Structure 1
Amino acid sequence: MSDRTTHTELPPQAVFAQLLFGKQLTYSLSGVARLGVADHMGKTARPVEELAAKTGAHAPSLYRVMRMLASLGVFREGPKRHFALTPVGELLKTDAPISLRYMAIMFGEEFSTRAYAHFTDCLRTGGDGVTKAYGKDIWQVLAEHPAQCEVFQQAMTANSSASVPAIVEAYDFTGIKRIADVGGGHGLLLGSILRGYPAMKGVLFDRPEVVGSLPKTAFAGLEGRVAVEGGSFFERVPDDCDAYIMKHIIHDWDDDHCRTILRLMREKLPKNGRVLVCDMVVGDDPDPTPAKMLDIEMLVMTVGGKERTEAEFAELFASSGLKLNRIVATAPTARPVAVIEAVPA
């Protein structure tokens, strides 16, 4: 570490001030992501005036934002008013192997910012900020705003590009003949599983407007092995599957809604079937973790959604005719997930 004052050496008021400035950091990352600034950058520093001209930005304002982000390791400044990408900044490039550009854009989208304007109401009532802002839940809002829905789907797909390989590497899918990816978005997880297990077939199941925007190349090379179905997982799940997998779905909903989904799966499962929930697990230790941060996002953005502890998962499964069998940890990522395996009780 450099000779700068460490976090633990700062007086309490300075630590508190740093925490409060999280808003400036989030909006700065979202703004430069939306403008596509990183797409015009590389390891060689470019003048901020050039970057502003290419992205339609106001050069003096862009400089102030990039100077701040450089102080936190997103960019590297040198010579003065010239910026290059760091490994962290590379994640803002659209074509990066693991791109978080759309994730950054999403955090500045209207549906997010309007929801967080009602944060105190969430604390007072336990309700979500989206419903307070729009009079409807996040899924209804996204369905009515295609452009924001597309940003959301792009963000989820990009986030999956980091977590999916870790899931496929950590969990042994051997023995599954037909798996349904419920709420599977654009199919990155399902496609990755099928490519690793050539004898397996799969079903991608999500809302009609989601599967209707499925990229044509989503299942390239898997022709004849994938079915695509549109529908609501509160009403039905695909038939003839011996496994159901859900990534970042259960955490979107309260226990009653989750039980509806899980019971539908339980009704369809053969006796040797499995339900695989890919979510974070909140530990008992007091240290800061991504799960605790994401839990606040669920508080504000969803109706009753949350990150759960191992005990909460076990209770949820037990009330749905299932039992928690094991939790398989995956390699650390920006949003480390575990594969939480449930089997018929």
Structure 2
Amino acid sequence: MLTTETINKTNQTNQMNLPELLLQMSNGTFVTQTIYVAAKLGIADLLKDGAKSSDELAKLTDVDAQSLYRLLRALSSHGIFAEGENRQFQLTPLGECLQTDIPGSMRDFAIILGEPWFWQVCGSLLHSVKTGKNAFENVFGMEPFAYLAQHPERAQILSEAINAFTSSIIPALLASYDLSAIGKIVDVSGGQGTFIAEILKANPTMKGILFDQPPVAQGARRYIEAQGVAERCEIMGGNFCEFVPSGGDAYILKQILHTCNDESALTILKNCHQVMNENSKLIIFEAVIPPANKRSLSKWFDLHMLLMGEGQERTETEYQELLAAAGFMVNKVIFTQAPIDVIEAVKI
């Protein structure tokens, strides 16, 4: 059933030049590639101290000056850079997000989304829609984890992109959900430790356990020590499909369930349920898909999951059903200012 909001939006769209609008949307592939090239060349870093001409930037990046100008001109029409007189370009607030090593940096993600190997997978979306199977295996003949193990340099870029994304959303997540009453928190598949380190720094009396595959956990140890929280954070290696550590007052699953089909997700949830006490909380950080017709990055994240593996983003109802099957009840769902939301659940 069409809502009043949907009808109003449709009427507004009808006032536009619809063929032109659709052409602009279809041209999004070029937008992705132009952002990728600018990120790969490090243009934002070169402009952080002030405007430069496209000729100067071309010399610094060893590319063709006229071609670079055409690229920067196109990006300026999207507000990523701003073109002034004599082909001078400067950063905009949006373009600043392409800088390296700043809070909220999206440079690594922009590179991932434009890399040829990822681009090949995106070009096989039709295969996934037709078959319901991930396009990655169809293109490369193996699952993403096996492929990345054979290409460590690409795995490193992906890891850095995920860490940068995590860092960018942590403030919004911590502002949305109060963790201060928790004595001991377990970060299941905590990766490098970016999230749990920030949680522990924000809560000086809290203790934590970072749990992940042994090689990942070993790498996290160095990061946790560098963040000054090693005395309060135990590092444990293991497979969450087999077990999770006991003794936590709260268990975190951050962007884990969306990589899994329902069967695998249920296994992880049941393992959490088995070690949790009656007062423990399960805190899930995922992009919850909103109702039909509402714009949301979660709907596009979901297509990434379709392309890359067996995972999916889920609606609030789907999470409730999945958690109920594992013996949990959803207490509340908090929609945050970040692209990731919070689901709090307890044992039934």
- Give distance in 2, aligned partners of 1:63 and 1:321: 58
Q: Does 1:239 align with 2:242?
A: no
What RMSD in Å do the two structures reach over aligned CA positions?
1.9
How do 1:27-42 and structure 2 match up within 5 A?
27-42=33-48
Residue segments in structure 1 that go unaligned for 5+ positions in a row: 1-5
How do 1:183-332 and structure 2 match up within 5 A?
183-214=189-220, 216-219=222-225, 220-303=227-310, 305-330=311-336, 332=337
SS in 2 for 1:327: strand
Q: In the TM superposition, what is the alpha-carbon distance from 1:215 to its structure 2 partner?
A: 7.7
Q: What per-residue deviation string (whole Å, max 9, x for no partner) do you get for residues 20-73 of structure 1?
A: 111001111112111211111036320112112222322222211111100010
Q: Does 1:124 align with 2:127?
A: no
One-letter amino acid matched to 1:154: E
Q: In the TM superposition, what is the alpha-carbon distance from 1:212 to its structure 2 partner?
A: 4.1
SS in 1 for 2:251: strand
Corresponding residue to 1:343 among 322, 326, 346: 346
SS in 1 for 2:201: helix
Query: In structure 2, what is the equivalent of residue 3 of structure 1?
Result: none
Q: What per-residue deviation string (whole Å, max 9, x for no partner) do you get for residues 134-167 of structure 1?
A: 2222222222221111111111111112211111
Q: Does 1:82 align with 2:88?
A: yes
Q: 1:324 to 1:171 in 2, by over 3 A?
A: same
Query: In structure 2, what is the equivalent of residue 23 of structure 1?
Result: 29
One-letter amino acid matched to 1:328: I
CA contact (8 A) 1:167 1:338 kept: yes
How do 1:158-173 and structure 2 match up within 5 A?
158-173=164-179
Query: In structure 1, what is the equivalent of residue 9 of structure 2?
Result: none
Residue segments in structure 2 that go unaligned for 5+ positions in a row: 1-11
- Give distance in 2, aligned partners of 1:218 and 1:55: 36
SS in 2 for 1:15: helix
- Give distance in 1, aligned partners of 2:235 and 2:61: 38
- Give distance in 1, aligned partners of 2:135 and 2:315: 23
- Give distance in 1, aligned partners of 2:188 and 2:322: 18
Q: In the TM superposition, what is the alpha-carbon distance from 1:225 to its structure 2 partner?
A: 0.7
Q: In the TM superposition, what is the alpha-carbon distance from 1:223 to its structure 2 partner?
A: 2.6
One-letter amino acid matched to 1:211: A
Q: In the TM superposition, what is the alpha-carbon distance from 1:9 to its structure 2 partner?
A: 4.3
Q: 1:209 to 1:69 in 2, by over 3 A?
A: farther
TM-score w.r.t. the length of structure 2 is: 0.91
Corresponding residue to 1:178 among 175, 184, 187: 184
SS in 1 for 2:346: strand
One-letter amino acid matched to 1:153: S
- Give distance in 1, aligned partners of 2:124 and 2:347: 40
Q: What per-residue deviation string (whole Å, max 9, x for no partner) do you get for residues 225-277 of structure 1?
A: 11223332222222322221122111111111100111111111111111111
One-letter amino acid matched to 1:290: L
Q: 1:339 to 1:49 in 2, by over 3 A?
A: same
- Give distance in 2, aligned partners of 1:207 and 1:7: 49
Q: 1:339 to 1:67 in 2, by over 3 A?
A: same
Aligned sequence identity (%): 35
TM-score w.r.t. the length of structure 1 is: 0.92
Q: 1:156 to 1:260 in 2, by over 3 A?
A: same
CA contact (8 A) 2:334 2:341 kept: yes
- Give distance in 2, aligned partners of 1:8 and 1:211: 53
Alignment length, in residue pairs? 336
How do 1:124-163 and structure 2 match up within 5 A?
124-163=130-169
Corresponding residue to 1:91 among 82, 94, 97: 97
- Give distance in 2, aligned partners of 1:7 and 1:56: 43
One-letter amino acid matched to 1:83: F
One-letter amino acid matched to 2:272: M
**Which of the pair is proportionally richer in helix?**
2
Corresponding residue to 1:53 among 50, 59, 64: 59
One-letter amino acid matched to 1:269: M
CA contact (8 A) 1:43 1:85 kept: no
- Give distance in 2, aligned partners of 1:81 and 1:209: 49
- Give distance in 2, aligned partners of 1:178 and 1:152: 30
Query: In structure 1, what is the equivalent of residue 109 of structure 2?
Result: 103
